[in-house]
Amino acid sequence: MSHIDWVRGAVIYQIFPDRFARSAAAGIDGEFERWETPETAEGFKGGNLKGAEERLDHIASLGATAVYFNPVFASAANHRYHTHDYYKVDPILGGDAALDSFIKAAHRRGIRVILDGVFNHASRGFFQFNHLLENGAASPYRKWFHPRGWPLKAYNLGRDEKPNYSCWWNLPALPKFNTRNPEVRRFILDVAKYWLERGIDGWRLDVPHEINDDAFWREFRRVCKGVNPGCYITGEIWGEAKRWLAGDQFDAVMNYRLSAACIAYFGGKKLSLTHAYGGRRLRPGGQKKFQDDIRALLGHYKYATTLVQMNMLSSHDTDRMLNTYGGDEALVQMAVVFSFLFPGAVNVYYGEEIGMEGALNAGTRNAMPWQNRKAWNTGLLKLYRQLGALRRNNPVIKSGSFEFLEEYCDGEILAFRRRLGRAAITCYINNSPAAREIRVKKSAPGSSPRALLDSGVAIQTAGKELILRLAPRGFVALG
């Protein structure tokens, strides 16, 4: 048994703290935007960790076994990827005590907590960088970053002027660490160790490929696993990630390649993306391409690694699912069903379970409409809860093999099976605008006439066969 077996079959609920939930009980002062107004680049809604704690019933109802928080450390940005202090939870979120309280409340429910580790870059407000701004070459921290001249040009740059220090995507607000500096390495490793000792269960690493240093990440793993062998280390790598998943660096990556395959196939001609997907322009693809993509994905890593991948449906860096799938809820449901039954953990971005809409930088990070339940898609919510319940402690989903059932995959019907010993779950998805009928041998693994999950299916017994009548865009899971 692996120390991170808890990740197998997990449902990870992703929270963007400023936009998830605001609790007056947190007693946090400040002038915030109205909760229900559209997102703005600089605006704060005032979501806090007490608000998230108060919504643990909702999170648990989805079968969630972990929460992944976008950054929570002190920052002057609503997304908090501009870290000011890695040892303090942002006071607008409630400070350190609020995180301690959330961790304890989540752990009581069997829900683990994963934090966002932004270690490639800091912010202009980070003490050591601010020291450079004030003191230039005289600062003892000058080797913490990559200056290319003095004084540093961190503000009020001209239209074609670039900052004279290395920073993420040439954004002056995000100075890049010099991780070759032993002092910086020690600082980052101490931060990682500190929060694990304080009770978190894992790190999601922001743009870790930009710290192009395998030795650093090996050391990061040794330090983290030394504190908690069961901590989960997953990296934001959008493409193939063999380099980082050999067993000596990360446990997993954010599996955007799975969501890309689902978008191209299930989204089909309705596919709609406002941005390139990990640098790629996704195009509609047929079933054969989808199967080839999935097989290629399964072939990249050891199966033990596949079983702990962080499988993405969407995130704070993508359009919302309804937008991506052209506003067609049936297409979204098919993609969700496939993703939930696929090997690995599944990451659910807050609000997808109620059908929130929005494009990247234009609604993807809108506030969760707790006070407007009429805006909730209760059909989607029911499906997410059913899938979460099906996954929870299900050995077939946690550890079972995966295979396509080629005899049924005809371009419209997509059939696949998860199997563990004699136990099996078989799923049939009708990716067609017309109803379809298929015949299944009752003796086949995972062919019980009892539906574990379905959307518009009629099941009839006929001798040694089951007759499945699937509605347009319908699906059924048998087991």
The β-bridge partners of 68 are 14, 114
Whether residues 388 and 295 share a domain: the answer is yes
Q: Name the active-site residue from 54, 236, 319, 352.
A: 236
Which residues of the chain have a pLDDT value below 70?
none
> What pTM was computed for the model?
0.98
Name every residue whose Cβ is closer than 8 Å to that of residue 280 and which is 6 or more positions away in sequence: 260
pLDDT in tens, 7-39: 999 999 999 999 999 999 999 999 999 999 999
Q: Which amino acid is at 175?
A: P
Q: Determine the Cα–Cα distance for residues 136 and 8; give it in Å rounded to an integer.
A: 49
Whether residues 155 and 205 share a domain: the answer is no
Q: Determine the Cα–Cα distance for residues 141 and 368; give it in Å rounded to an integer.
A: 41
Run of H or E including 404: strand 401-404
Phi, psi of 175 (to 5 degrees): -65, 135
Q: Does the annotation mark 206 as catalytic?
A: yes
Count of Cβ atoms closer than 10 Å to residue 32 Cβ: 15
Q: Name the active-site residue from 18, 53, 206, 319.
A: 206
Domains held by the chain: number: 3
Whether residues 132 and 86 share a domain: the answer is no
pLDDT at residue 2, as a whole number: 87
Q: Determine the Cα–Cα distance for residues 102 and 53; give it in Å rounded to an integer.
A: 5
Q: Residue 164: which CATH number?
A: 3.90.400.10
- Parent domain of 457: 401-478
For the chain, what percentages of helix, strand and coil (3-state, to nearest 5) are there? 35, 25, 40
Whether residues 360 and 471 share a domain: the answer is no
Whether residues 49 and 162 share a domain: the answer is no
Place of tokens 């690493």: 205
Buried b (16+ CB within 10 A) or exposed e, 294-316: beebeeebeeebbbbbbbbbbbb
Whether residues 140 and 71 share a domain: the answer is no
Q: Which of 368, 398, 428 is the last residue of a domain?
A: 398
Q: Which of 347, 369, 398 is the last residue of a domain?
A: 398
Whether residues 104 and 186 share a domain: the answer is yes
Whether residues 383 and 439 share a domain: the answer is no
Q: Give, to the nearest 10 degrees, the angle between helix 182-197 and helix 214-227.
A: 30
Q: Residue 215: which CATH number?
A: 3.20.20.80
Whether residues 69 and 94 share a domain: the answer is yes
Whether residues 68 and 144 share a domain: the answer is no
Whether residues 319 and 378 share a domain: the answer is yes
Q: Which of 366, 381, 398 is the last residue of a domain?
A: 398
Whether residues 369 and 451 share a domain: the answer is no
pLDDT in tens, 315-370: 999 999 999 999 999 999 999 999 999 999 999 999 999 999 999 999 999 999 99
DSSP 211-269: S--HHHHHHHHHHHHHH-TT-EEEE---S--GGG-SSSS-SEEEEHHHHHHHIIIIIGG
Q: Residue 454: which CATH number?
A: 2.60.40.1180
pLDDT at residue 362, as a whole number: 96
* 197, 98 contact by CB (below 8 A): no
